[in-house]
Structure 1
Amino acid sequence: MHHANILVIGSLNMDLVVRAPRLPLPGETLSGEQFATVPGGKGANQAVAAARLGAQVAMLGCLGDDAYSTQLRAGLDAEGIDHSGVASLPGRASGVALIVVGADSQNAIVVVAGSNAELDAAHLARFDAALQAADIVICQLEVPLATVGIALQRAHALGKTVILNPAPATGPLPPEWLACIDYLIPNESEAAALSGLPVSSQAEAGLAAQHLLGTGVRRVLVTLGAAGVLHATPADLQHFPAQAVQAVDTTAAGDTFVGGFAAALAQGLNEAEAIRFGQAAAALSVTRAGAQPSIPHLAEVQARLAASR
């Protein structure tokens, strides 16, 4: 693997996307308007975002041996992402996500892990040199939790900057993970699941973030969609308002923020600058349809930031 300053350990999915007038009710059959297959998976989305936004990126993960696998690998290749650490598993299906997007840009998603469920400790050990070479390591929760835990602890032991996007979150994180995380980046529902507290306002997000800091995480960034980002450290709580845009599709907005934030940190920007950079990237992404197709390139984000000064 070449030297990458960001290593993403996580999921690769093919997104099967239907656009419909609205989300269907239980038991209801709706007529959809459009269908597309789009490369996705939180891990791959974050890797693509970081690569498009200026970072050297490598990825560890698992694909199946199907047509989706070929397409997903070609997508990484096109972005200049080192995918030598992405295995193709014989006899397995690649991960898929079934996504319905309503006219109001809200979405409902069902994810089938497929080959993502096979990412194990042995695979991490085989590519330990990639962990050693990286400056920043990013994980999510769409691969086995045991593997995520090992990755977080190994990256922390190596002195790397460790980012965890705890998605999807169903409850509190394992206690042994907490001190390994430099940046925990949940959205509102994930912050609520992790903290056990309601998160329906900026004030409640602040309380949940303070609770999470109390568990041993170093910094918490709660992404609040159109309400911006809340950055919490043990000493400070700062709100970064979102940039106003006309949202078309919010798929991968969070992943674009994570990848953009990490890319900015890797380029030496400070936390506040990196948050604003990630926000500008995410703002552009929601104005476009799809997961990876919506992720902007570095020049677009730089132009948006320059225009907003």
Structure 2
Amino acid sequence: MGEGLLCIGLTTLDMVARPIDALPSGEGTRLIEGIAVAPAGTAAGAAMIAARLGVKTALAGSVGGDFMGRVVRLGLEEQGVDTGLVGVIERYPTSATVLTIDSNGRRPNFHALGAGLFAPTGEAVLAAAGKVAFLHYAGIGGPKLDGGAGLAVVQSAKAGGAVVTCDLISPQPTALAELERLLPHVDYFMPSASEAFALSKTDSLDAAADFFLGLGAVAVIIKNGGAGSYVALGAERTALPAYDITPVDTTSCGDSYCAGFIAGLSRGLAPLDACRFATAVAALVAQGLATLGKVTSYDGVLEAMKAMTLKEPG
């Protein structure tokens, strides 16, 4: 087995502001509590958080040849993410999202498509995938990725002995066929509950997990927001509660859960314990603005787990 983590998938720049409950009339100005800018996306967000948690992390993604692209690279590199596989596509802007978080934590957003759709999967990425301990393939549902070389990347990682986790950009029509190709080579499939229901055409977490296990995944972990997560490790099924917190910004909670899970596994935690650690990571992200929220370090998460309270079942 190799070392470190390689994340592949969507790379964006998030611009987050809160609270925004209504737009000012005309060209008026309204003072708000905070604004934050950070790299984000299914791959870049997970990579940034994993690096903050002490995992040696590299990212395979794409940004535009613009100022926003330079900001994304700088933000990632400040956290220690290896950006050697982050490509610059001059003819496209960097993918970016403006998120207007309201007082209840809801996040209406405005997304501009760009270079982030074109995550690289060429020879350099194939070679890197074969040398890591963990591969997080977070490109399912990517319109420029589905049906492409993602399968070869995942197979390269498996051949090198890596643990492969998998997440979605979007449950768009091509995503199911891509899952049928990739899941037989995936150890942990980690969709959100809404994505799982949309793709499986079921309305229960148990049935959705069975559906993806039937496609070949070794295990399925369904992220269910404020309700926690549902973990299907083969026949073993566990519903884990979320922490009882007041959310500020839930934008990157799903990506942070994936990163926390991988960080936990990398420290030797059993899968279910790694899910518990991931739950705490997501809770800390939700209590602050943008990708990192209030995550400080791996040990900081362990300390927070002692102080935070889990929600009561039901």
TM-score by length of 2: 0.86
The equivalent of 2:298 in structure 1 is 298
- Partner of residue 5, structure 1: 4
In the other structure, the counterpart of 1:47 is 47
Which structure 2 residues correspond to residues 126-275 of structure 1 after superposition, within 5 A? 126-141=124-139, 142=142, 144-145=145-146, 146-171=148-173, 172-174=176-178, 175-198=180-203, 204-275=204-275
In structure 2, the CA distance between the partners of 1:80 and 1:120, relative to structure 1 (3 Å rule), is closer
- Indicate how the Cα distance of structure 1 residues 212 and 127 shifts in structure 2: closer, same or farther if over 3 A, else same: closer
Cα distance in 2 between the residues matched to 1:65 and 1:167: 22
| Mapped partners of 1:173, 1:33: distance in 2 | 47
Summarize the Cα distance change of 1:30–1:249 in structure 2 as closer, same or farther, 3 Å threshold.
farther
Following superposition, the deviation at residue 36 of structure 1 comes to 4.5
Give me the whole-angstrom Cα distance separating, in 2, the residues matched to 1:306 and 1:292. 20
Structure 2 Cα separation of the partners of residues 195 and 32 of structure 1: 44
Number of residue pairs the alignment of both structures matches: 296
Is the Cα contact below 8 Å between 2:48 and 2:79 reproduced in 1? yes
Q: Secondary structure at the match of 1:165?
A: strand
Deviation at 1:155, TM superposition (A): 2.0
Unpaired runs of 5+ in structure 2?
310-314
CA distance 1:15–1:147, shift in 2 (3 Å): farther
- Give the whole-Å Cα distance in 1 for the aligned partners of 2:165 and 2:41: 17
Alignment of 1:20-35 (within 5 A): 20-22=19-21, 34=32
- 1:201 alignment partner in structure 2: none
Q: Say if 1:51 and 1:79, in contact at 8 Å, map to a contact too.
A: yes
Change (3 A) 1:233 1:32: farther
Q: Identify if the C-alpha distance between structure 1 residues 235 and 68 changes in structure 2 by more than 3 Å, giving closer, same or farther.
A: same
**Seq. identity, %:** 26
Residues 163-221 of structure 1: CA distance to partner in whole angstroms, max 9, x if unpaired?
011232225242221201110111111111221112xxxxx112211121112111010
Gaps of 5+ in 1: 199-203
Matched-pair contact (CA < 8 Å) for 1:170–1:193: no
Amino acid at match of 2:182: W
Provide the C-alpha distance between the structure 2 equivalents of 1:139 and 1:285, rounded to a whole number of angstroms.
21
Q: How do 1:105-116 and structure 2 match up within 5 A?
A: 105-116=105-116
CA distance in 2, matches of 1:173, 1:112: 26
Q: Distance in 2 between the 1:108 and 1:296 partners?
A: 27
Partner Cα separation in structure 2 for residue 294 and residue 302 of structure 1: 13
Q: CA RMSD in A?
A: 2.4
The corresponding residue for 2:68 is: 68
Contact 1:4 1:58 in 2 (8 A): no
Quick one: distance in 1 between partners of 2:161 and 2:306? 34
Note closer, same or farther for the CA distance 1:30–1:137 as it changes in structure 2 (3 Å cut): farther
The letter for the 2-side match of 1:153 is Q
For residue 312 of structure 2, what is the aligned residue in structure 1?
A: none
Preserved CA contact (<8 Å) 1:20 1:32: no
Compare the two structures and name the one with the higher helix fraction.
1
3-state SS in 2 of match to 1:231: strand
Residue 73 and residue 36 in structure 1: after superposition, are their counterparts in 2 closer, same or farther (change >3 A)?
same
Counterpart residue number, 2:101 = 101
Supply the AA of the counterpart residue of 2:100.
V
Partners of 1:71 and 1:86 in 2: CA distance: 13
* 1:61-103 per-position Cα deviation (integer Å, ceiling 9, x unaligned): 1111100111111111111111111122223211112322221
